[in-house]
Amino acid sequence: MLDHINDITNFLAVASERSFTRAAAKRGVSQSALSHSVRALEARLGVRLLTRTTRSVGMTEAGERLMRSIAPRLAEIEAALASVSELGEKVAGTIRITAIDHVVDSVVWPRLEGLLHRYPDLNIEIDSEYRMIDIVAERYDIGIRWGDQVEKDMIAVRMTADQPMAIVGSPGYLAERGLPRTPQDLLRHNCITLRLASSGGLYAWELAHEGRPTEAKVTGQTIFTSVFPMLKAALSGHGLAFLTADMVQPHLQAGRLKQVMAEWCPSFPGLHAYYTSRRHPTRALAAVIEGLREPESA
């Protein structure tokens, strides 16, 4: 029975990472041992769970069904085991968090850093992901996203106030190309774009004017998959970027960037930390959630 659970856990790790190499590193086992474990599970079930090529690992229909059905149950077992350990006095264990890199840098790490000194038996694993993640299926304890991206069946805790957005460019770029005033003007500018990890498409800037939302399907010479290089490209004069106001504020104050079309830039719902409503928070999870909570509402 224990071998079965171990094989299932190994399968879920490979399914989550889409890679035997990354899953083996995360599980702390050899790649060959992991492959043998998954093949043993497939042999017992009599179906292929994963599709393997030299470059990638995918899931079959049977693999998808097994992951959807077993991952929540395994999470419940882990939560039950953790609740037993809660009878002790320590805040201990590993809490896995998924958030985008800018949020980790500006909000998550500054708020959690002190917890690690306070609770030496607490471990925190932070995964910087831009794709929308099913935290139950991929076995994260906490997801961090904008408020409108949190699924309704999750318990959510506000971390920040609503976040204004800003369209910015360097003074040199704007002097050369002129000031855009409408979304149509943006189509004639060199815009620094973001490729969405979940869909593979380019992010359309979500603008609004006098309460009416509109999308600007901008293009440009540069496409990135995270916001830090977008900021660097804007600072270097390569075009306009659409970023959170807190990220660009120091550069606006220093004169390295200028904001344009402020009346077209909406605010996004604040950041929220969320976790599944099906689990009772352990001491470790509760401590991390409390550490992430918006200070004014703590």
Helices (H) and strands (E) in the chain, counts: 11, 15
User: Which pLDDT value is given to residue 215?
Assistant: 95
Query: Are residues 286 and 164 in contact, defined by beta-carbon separation less than 8 angstroms?
Result: no
Mark out the alpha helices in 28-181 (DSSP H runs): 31-45, 61-85, 101-103, 109-118, 171-177
Whether the CB-CB separation of 143 and 135 falls below 8 Å is answered with: yes
Measured from the Cβ of residue 255, the count of other Cβ atoms closer than 10 Å reads 9
Other Cβ atoms less than 10 A from the Cβ of 216: the count is 20
pLDDT for 56 equals 74
Is 168 within 8 Å of 234 (Cβ atoms)?
Answer: yes
List the domains of the chain with CATH numbers: 2-84 (1.10.10.10), 90-161+270-297 (3.40.190.10), 163-268 (3.40.190.290)
DSSP character string of 91-131 = --EEEEEEE-HHHIIIIIHHHHHHHHHH-TTEEEEEEE--S
Q: Please report the pLDDT score of residue 298 as a whole number.
A: 41
Report yes or no on whether pTM surpasses 0.75. no
Report angle CA 150, 100, 174 to the nearest 5 degrees.
110
Give the residue ranges of the chain where pLDDT is below 70.
1-3, 54, 79-89, 278-279, 296-298
What per-residue confidence (pLDDT) applies to 177? 96
Q: What is the pLDDT of residue 297?
A: 45
